[in-house]
Amino acid sequence: MPAPLTGGCLCGAIRYAIDASVSELRACHCTNCQKISGAGGTVNALVESKDFKLLQGSPKRFTKTADSGRVLHRYFCGDCGSGLYSQRDITPERVVVRAGGFDNPPPMKVTAHIWTRSARPWDYIDPASHQVAGQPD
């Protein structure tokens, strides 16, 4: 069993661990992810909720209906504002964790891009990656 993947926010108030191996990441270019990141979107690891454990702190939650029409809870640090993870109302068994929060991740690759139809023209999308114009099923 490899050491769990750990991560947290910029100020250190929130800490978490993921008890699963993550090698593939998914970039989301939806307009909500652009606003909340102040960048081209978010890059995420999709993990099962049972493998995700908060070690320290209590993230704040912001809930909004996503571009897909689904209700999405976005969790972030109330002190430093770092985005941490999100969870859909209808799929509590899955957590979508922002990959930029990982401490010392093993090699990972963005293998899929979603919501490419709203991608910013300056954001790079690997042509070899799997691409979905909107929300994948």
- Binders in 71-100 for Zn ion, by CB under 5 A: 77, 79-80
Task: Name the minimum Å distance from CB 46 to Zn ion.
Answer: 12
Is 103 strand, coil or helix?
Answer: coil
Q: Which of 5, 7, 9, 59: binder of Zn ion (CB under 5 A)?
A: 9
What are the residues whose beta carbons fall under 8 Å from the beta carbon of 38, sequence distance 6 or more? none
- From residue 28 to residue 47, what is the string marking binding to Zn ion with x (rule CB under 5 A)? x-x--x--------------
Could you write out the DSSP letters of every residue in 79-100?
TT--EEEEEETT-TTEEEEEGG
**For 42-53, b where at least 16 C-beta lie within 10 A, e where not — what string?**
bbbbebeeebbe
Q: Does 11 bind Zn ion (CB under 5 A)?
A: yes
Task: Name the minimum Å distance from CB 1 to Zn ion.
Answer: 29
Q: Which residues bind Zn ion (CB under 5 A)?
A: 9, 11, 13, 28, 30, 33, 77, 79-80
